[in-house]
Structure 1
Amino acid sequence: MEEQLPQYLIIEVLSRLSDSGDLARCRLVSRTFNSLCQEVRSINLVCTLSRYLKSRSPETGHLVTPFKTIFHNLVRNSRNLESVSVGVDKSLGGIAYDDVEDESDDLYLTDVGFFKDWLSRVCGDLKFLSISDFWIQSCWRKSTVFALISSCCHRLLELEVRNAWLSVDGLRPIPTLIHLTLEFVRLEDEDLMKINECFPSLQVLNLVGVGGLKDPKINLLHLKTCLWTASNAPVSLAIIAPKLVKLKLKCVKPKSLVLETPLLYDFHLSLEKANEVRLQEFRNLKNLQLESSSLGSLIHKFRSGNTVKRLKVNLLKSAETFKVSKFCLRTLLDIFPNVNSLTLCPRAWSEAETSFHEGGLESWSGMKEVKEFIAHLVVDDIDVTLPFIFCILNKCSNLSDMALLIHREVDSSIASNLISRCTADHPRIRWRWGMWKEGADDTWVSDGI
């Protein structure tokens, strides 16, 4: 193979290996491969569940090379690294604390001592760094690895840290960093403030399951994309980002929510209760997805929805019972009058259907802009569902595409009857049909069931 392919191409292939443990095996192929393996630009090493279990077994433990040793050897024999990813597989997250009898640190990957052994070798050219720690070993050890990374990785563009307890003590600015992901990480409020200060050039920020924050605030002048899945604890959230264009924010019951994001274009907001929510006018907002158990109240938090073209709404199920504004189609499209693509998820469809049968759409003509309509529905009584569908079709005079996803548990004869009556009565519409199931990913649309 090495005689047929140019060396640069072999290096490219080796740099793209999903498991850099294969590099060790490649070195045994020939002297040429051994030399070329040292030129790889990327290392990606993952400790699998099978490797972990073998290392813990009395019968096989002595046969397994320590994970950190393998990683050290890879780094020591690499000269041009630009990307390093080291971590444990997600399957190790299912290991219970009771299954671990000692206080090992063999997979404690945010250990500063472990980092000091190899980071100085590669920091000069490093642009991407990802660490996925072993939570059982890292959750009770506070790591200052942030400070070490910031002190020597002066060209770093992207940083990912998962499953760790991080400290920002000694953290220095990294003006080159534009992409940061923190997932299932423990921080404090003052730590997030320090991140705002030291990573001023961030354009992409992902905060998923970051705990320990009481009143977190994101204040980044260059941020363009943000994913923030906040903890379940009631906290006050604030985002100040004048260049932000894409935001996916999920929180349960925040004490307050303040968004100062005037250029927002794509917005996905999921929360249970919409109490202290303060949203400024979004003059560029085109794509909007809302999920809430108080959906009727949430939509009233938008000062103006005139710019929104694509809208998807979902009424979340809540264990609590509290008085909320009812959700209805008329109110939704009065607030977002220029929507041309509308998607109603199951509970939103059900409540809109109930509201329709209680009256309120007869003299209303607020659906003329809608060209595409997608709905997830459960059909209990076809004579109840059909009038609502036909009302939508009559009100949406410019509608050209109607996609209905029927719940998998609906009787096939009822579904077939619904399909035949819809297509017969409104042949001008392009009909698409599909199936959906609660909690599944198969909410797809197709030409038939």
Structure 2
Amino acid sequence: MDKLHDSLLLQILSQLDDSADVARCRVAYKPFNTVFPDLRSINLQCSKIWYTDSMSRVSKSKSFMSVFLDIISKLDTVESVSIIHEDPYSVMLPGLEGDDLTLQNRFVQEWVPMVSKSLQSLCLSGFPYSFIVPLISKHCHNLVNLHLTYAWLSVVTMNPMPMLTSLTLEYTDLEDIHLNELNKGFPNLQHLDLIGVRGLQNPKIHLLNLQTCHWAEHHHHPQSSLTLITPNLTTLVIECVYPAEIHVEAPMLSEFQLSVNTVKHPGALIVKKFENLKTVWLDSLCIGSLLSEFPITKTVETLSLDSENEEPTDATDSKFTIGKVLMVFPNLSSLCIYSGAWSELEACLNSEDRESSDGKIGLKTICAYLKLVDPSLTFSSVSHVLDQCLGLSEVSLLIHVDVADTESKNFMSKCMAHWPGLKWKWGRWSDDMEESWITDGMSN
């Protein structure tokens, strides 16, 4: 160790995930002190016990605040700061009040100005202050990436932050009026993640430079509508429990993932200018109903269908058929059907209202995740799908690992014998492992 070059020592410190470990290394091995000031990032992991002790007036342990301030005061340049509470939700409980809240306020107000000139990335978890965004916008003019978790946000006195290109808000409280201010205050935002944000009723995202957006609504209170006016958006992910009306104006959108966690009517999907959409992922407890809401889109080439409802019993409201898929996406070339969606397809197989295709389609490849609960029914489903897809060239079937090898091989042999002209691949899958392909490019 005594012969290690300074550059290697700095690399060792840079690889540590927790800045508390950096402090321990400095105590254990003095040469680390020489290179320590050249570190450019701080990543402090605050355990629940450490945080509780830090707030205690009788604790003799060194608080996480004093450790952080000691580290930050000795660094020459700070480009990235991350403070993560192990249990950030507990910080937002009513127990944090009075002197404790004042102490936290002073802590944040003390160090933010110290790193303002060089700071480019900031991640704070469990700092429930309404003033945090105005404080950051006042001092950190070069900030590019901001990630806030478990906070109460207000942007009434926020300064514009034209350098910010990436924003993530998780489990924060934010009202519509504040979201409107964020639209104005971050004019050059390119990446936006709003995960479990509470308080929004009719949110509107109007960002001219936004390229990717992830909206995840995890609460059981439906909004009236969600509006996105984003002329440069290319990737959009929407997850919701009770879906709202979704208005999308994104002419450059090429990848869209929509997840609806309800068996009820999935709401209105109002889409304007879906001119370049190429890849779609739909996930719902009722794929058939969700397909009914999706507008006919001729540009989509790749489609994935998934469902959390692994054992649907009533196909009355769904009527999920391959014909419906091809009607909504007439120029589809690649289709992937996961096990939950395939179970819904099997449940709809014997319904009287079976849609059919005239075979004039461009679908070339199909991949399906199967459980083989009833091999004869699954084979009928495969037959129903493949017989409608006259242009098909390749079929990939992944069979669940719980199915016996003999049964899986017999099923595949039957499929290959029935459709000898296709290129076949098959393998194993489960929720706890990556797909394992047994054969690749096998044909009969």
Using the size of structure 1 for normalisation, the TM-score is: 0.85
Moved over 6 A (4+): 53-58, 94-97, 104-110, 359-363
**What SS is found at the alignment partner of 2:169?**
strand
Partner of 1:44: 43
Matches within 5 A, 1:121-140: 121-133=114-126, 138=128
Partner of 2:437: 446
2:222 is aligned, of 220, 234, 238, to: 234
1:385 corresponds to which letter in structure 2? Answer: T
**What SS is found at the alignment partner of 1:112?**
helix
Matches within 5 A, 1:341-420: 341-358=334-351, 364-366=357-359, 368-410=361-403, 414-420=407-413
1:109 Cα shift?
11
Partner of 1:28: 27
Counterpart check, 1:218 vs 2:205: yes
Counterpart check, 1:258 vs 2:255: no
Q: Distance in 2 between matches of 1:176 and 1:257?
A: 29
Instruction: Specify whether residues 322 and 386 from structure 1 end up closer, same or farther in structure 2 by C-alpha distance, changes over 3 A only.
Output: closer
1:394 Cα shift?
4.0
Partner of 1:312: 304
Contact conserved, 2:122 with 2:147, CA < 8 A, in 1?
yes
1:130 Cα shift?
0.5
Contact conserved, 1:45 with 1:87, CA < 8 A, in 2?
yes
1:11 Cα shift?
3.0
Residues 408-433 of structure 1 deviation map (CA, whole Å, 9 limit, x = unaligned): 55566543432332244445423222
Q: Distance in 2 between matches of 1:44 and 1:400?
A: 51
Compare 143-152 and 410-419 and name the one that shifted more: 410-419
Counterpart check, 1:295 vs 2:287: yes
Contact conserved, 2:156 with 2:181, CA < 8 A, in 1?
no
2:34 corresponds to which letter in structure 1? Answer: S
Residues 48-102 of structure 1 deviation map (CA, whole Å, 9 limit, x = unaligned): 35645777999xx84532111111111111111101111212xx268699xx995
Compare 119-128 and 271-280 and name the one that shifted more: 271-280
Instruction: Specify whether residues 441 and 63 from structure 1 end up closer, same or farther in structure 2 by C-alpha distance, changes over 3 A only.
Output: farther
Q: Which runs of 5+ in 1 are unaligned?
A: none
What's the RMSD between the two structures over aligned residues?
Answer: 3.3
Partner of 1:19: 18
Contact conserved, 1:67 with 1:106, CA < 8 A, in 2?
no
Partner of 2:442: none
Q: Distance in 1 between matches of 2:434 and 2:196?
A: 26
Using the size of structure 2 for normalisation, the TM-score is: 0.86
Contact conserved, 2:255 with 2:277, CA < 8 A, in 1?
yes
Q: Distance in 1 between matches of 2:356 and 2:109?
A: 72
1:432 corresponds to which letter in structure 2? Answer: W
Contact conserved, 2:267 with 2:293, CA < 8 A, in 1?
no
How many residue pairs get aligned? The number is 431
Residues 257-298 of structure 1 deviation map (CA, whole Å, 9 limit, x = unaligned): 111111111100112333332112411111100122343343
Instruction: Specify whether residues 429 and 122 from structure 1 end up closer, same or farther in structure 2 by C-alpha distance, changes over 3 A only.
Output: same
2:274 corresponds to which letter in structure 1? Answer: F
Q: Distance in 2 between matches of 1:200 and 1:341?
A: 37
Matches within 5 A, 1:102-117: 102-103=95-96, 111-117=104-110
**What SS is found at the alignment partner of 1:186?**
coil
Contact conserved, 1:371 with 1:398, CA < 8 A, in 2?
yes
Contact conserved, 1:26 with 1:37, CA < 8 A, in 2?
no
Instruction: Specify whether residues 398 and 442 from structure 1 end up closer, same or farther in structure 2 by C-alpha distance, changes over 3 A only.
Output: farther
Contact conserved, 1:86 with 1:130, CA < 8 A, in 2?
yes
Contact conserved, 2:208 with 2:232, CA < 8 A, in 1?
yes
Partner of 1:87: 84
**What SS is found at the alignment partner of 2:75?**
coil
Partner of 1:274: 266
**What SS is found at the alignment partner of 2:227?**
strand
Instruction: Specify whether residues 108 and 322 from structure 1 end up closer, same or farther in structure 2 by C-alpha distance, changes over 3 A only.
Output: farther
Instruction: Specify whether residues 34 and 238 from structure 1 end up closer, same or farther in structure 2 by C-alpha distance, changes over 3 A only.
Output: same
1:108 Cα shift?
6.8
**What SS is found at the alignment partner of 1:351?**
helix
1:434 is aligned, of 410, 428, 436, to: 428
